[in-house]
Amino acid sequence: MSLLVTNIIDEPVYVLLTNDGCFLMKDNWPSILFAMAGGIVLSLGNLATQYAWAFVGLSVTEIISSSITVVIGTTFNYFLDDRINRAEILFPGVGCFLVAVCLGSAVHSSNAADNEKKLSGSSTNYTKTTRANSDVSKDMEKGVTNTSDPTVGVENAKAGTAEYLIQLENRRSIKVLGSNLFFGLGIVFFSGLCFSLFSPAFNLATNDQWHTLKKGVPHLVVYTAFFYFSISCFVVGIGLNIWFLYNPVLGLPRSSFAAYLKDWKGRQWALLAGLLCGFGNGFQFMGGQAAGYAAADAVQALPLVSTFWGILLFGEYRKSSRRTYALLVSMIFMFIAAVAVLMASSGHRKQ
């Protein structure tokens, strides 16, 4: 019996050649499937997050989903990594993330109440009934919008005012004013649950803690696992988006793949976001392999950047109540503390 070694995408595949000429291939498909499962849940989480932005806002969505990711995913990774991270530091950080989730939910609730108060005192008297009765339609093939709502023409409204909220609502494809408070939070929690699973799945793909590989079969290296992870994420993302073009949800108009290809307005930002997401995931996995995937979840500090964008660039929480501001500052402070503690818990993987 002799041993042949071939390479597929820089990953060795062992083939045993028996005396009678038969081939016995030892593969690592269980690890590949774990990597692909991670890509699938990441794609689902990304899609849910994009819907959640409309209902909950950029700042709160990112902090809640990232905190849920850490609370569930980091705890999972801690035990998968044979507890290489310092528990006495790690779990207080996880607790801080859990508090940030609660504060984020409170911020969303308080801000929704502020918006309702603004709209009720507006001269336009824009209500949920107004939105339901306004005849808004859009020809997705031509990009033409028709509406009987008189508030559509509002221009140059100041951020935080009722007129600004109405103007923003009329520009959105997803109408959110007057929507159920818990519906948006439900989408955020679903996205957080999906995000919490992709890192542990990748951890299992590269380290095989559940011993799914046969004896003698090597583990996937990070780069190979990331290849399969990215392929599955891409395929699921394309499939879901094409499905929702023809089967829209949340009252969106039906579109087509042809209309999608014709409309390239703002597409460069979407492509840039995808590239940044891919690079970020790759670096997270390389860091996780070296210092433990639990500590590598410190990349969930991304909401600190998105909060800056949401508040300073997109006008979120302008002219809100003191209660909302107090909750917002508390949420951000707790999140910063949680990220710092998480980074301090890093360890070194035993080879």
b/e for 93-131, b at 16 or more Cβ within 10 A?
A: bbebbbbbbebbbbbbbbbbebbeebbeebeeebeeebb
pLDDT in tens, 35-72: 999 999 999 999 999 899 888 888 888 888 888 888 89
35: CB partners within 8 A, 6+ apart = 201, 202, 205, 206, 220, 225, 226, 228, 229, 232
pLDDT at 229: 96
φ, ψ of residue 12 to 5 degrees: the values are -70, 135
What mean pLDDT value characterizes the chain?
Answer: 79
Tokens coding 203: 């951890």
Confidence band of 136 (pLDDT split at 50, 70, 90): very low
d(CA 225, CA 206): 7
3-state SS assignment for residue 171: helix
In order of 5, 10, 20, 182, the CA distances from 17 in angstroms are: 11, 21, 8, 60
Confidence band of 224 (pLDDT split at 50, 70, 90): very high
Residue 267 has pLDDT above 50, yes or no: yes
Tokens coding 3: 């041993």
Residue 295 has pLDDT above 80, yes or no: no
pLDDT at 155: 55
pLDDT in tens, 150-199: 444 445 677 778 888 888 788 877 888 777 778 888 999 999 999 999 99
d(CA 267, CA 278): 17
Residue 130 has pLDDT above 70, yes or no: no
